[in-house]
Amino acid sequence: MMLKRLRIFLSPVDFVSITFLSILIVLNLIFADRVREWAVLVFVNIVVIGGIAWLAHTAERKQSKLFIGLHRWYCYPIILFVFKEIYLMVHPIHPTDYDALLMSIDWWVFGVNPTQWFFQFAHPILTEILQLAYFSYYLLFIIMGVEVYRRYPIEEFDHAAFLIVYGFYLSYIGYFALPGIGPRFTVHDFSAMNSELPGLLLTEPIRTFINTAESIRPGISNPQDFVQRDIFPSGHTQLSLITLFLGFRYNLKSRWTLASLASLLIVGTVYLRYHYVVDLFGGVVFFLVSIWTGDKIRNWWIGKNAAKE
């Protein structure tokens, strides 16, 4: 009975986050013999699920701007949290990398390795622009979210946040299914990135930041063994398209800025050697699935709770 009452307070983001965290708990229990940190991850996920439920209940009961804001915006840190959690799970659970398959598809379609083909256009100015655009991925959701939060009813922000979070979780499922490390390791010499694709002022520090976020410590001799398996689908493509879709759905003032950044970002995923082109195609497919199924799931959850009130 208490769970049924609590369910009324849960937003679609709460529902999909609790569902995905529960799936991770089950996976950790099933593959406890492979995932070294499984007990810690199970405990932490249970705590986070409890925290989501408490925050949803408190925000609804107190109607405090602080708790309402925290309830709406926790969606951003939780996707980062889950991203780092699956780093500890993907490779132990599915230790095979599928780069050879992804490379062969690119070669079959284009007759070349696209990242090598792009190298003929390499220039420090272009590299700087595309590296900055690639980094803007971490800001697109905030730009879109802040404008929706300020201009539209809170229900619309919840809708936008749900599609973003749901899209991330779908991409994480793809990482489990087809793990890989990307062309900067398989087609190119990772240690030569800064010399082969130099930028101007910010390219190298941005690369270092991105590498560190993907668990590649500076100076490590075997980065391919530590990098996050997160190339298929291209989450940068999938989530940029979802953000762009929402920008035009809500007729945001920032929509053309989002479109410019997203376009450069998607080109940069290949030019900068993070992704195979087939990863981008996968990102488009996952984008379409996210929008089509996401609206259905959200409407089902809202209708289910409305019927209980």
Integer Cα distance of 299 and 120 in angstroms: 48
Q: Which of 93, 119, 143 is the last residue of a domain?
A: 93
In a domain, 308, yes or no: no
Q: In terms of pTM, does the model score above 0.85? A: yes
In a domain, 283, yes or no: yes
Q: Which of 44, 76, 93 is the last residue of a domain?
A: 93
In a domain, 307, yes or no: no
Give the sign of the dihedral formed by CA 296, CA 301, CA 302, CA 303: positive
Residues 97 and 169: beta-carbon distance below 8 Å: no
Amino acid at residue number 10: L
Question: Are 63 and 181 part of one and the same domain?
Answer: no
Angle between helices 75-87 and 65-73 (to 10 degrees): 40
Angle between helices 154-177 and 235-249 (to 10 degrees): 160
Question: Are 137 and 192 part of one and the same domain?
Answer: yes
Question: Are 107 and 223 part of one and the same domain?
Answer: yes
Question: Are 114 and 181 part of one and the same domain?
Answer: yes
Sequence-distant (≥ 6) Cβ neighbours of residue 50 within 8 angstroms: none
Question: Are 148 and 82 part of one and the same domain?
Answer: no
Give the sign of the dihedral formed by CA 293, CA 86, CA 208, CA 224: negative
The domain of 44 spans: 1-93
pLDDT tens over the chain, length 309 residues: 444 555 677 888 999 999 999 999 999 999 999 999 999 999 999 999 999 999 988 888 877 788 888 888 898 899 999 999 999 999 999 999 999 999 999 999 999 999 999 999 999 999 999 999 999 998 899 999 999 999 999 889 989 999 999 999 999 999 999 999 999 999 999 999 999 999 999 999 999 999 998 989 888 889 999 999 999 999 999 999 999 999 999 999 999 999 999 999 999 999 999 999 999 999 999 999 999 999 888 888 777 665 555
Could you count the other beta carbons within 10 Å of the beta carbon of residue 88?
17
Question: Are 199 and 67 part of one and the same domain?
Answer: no
Q: Which of 59, 93, 127 is the last residue of a domain?
A: 93
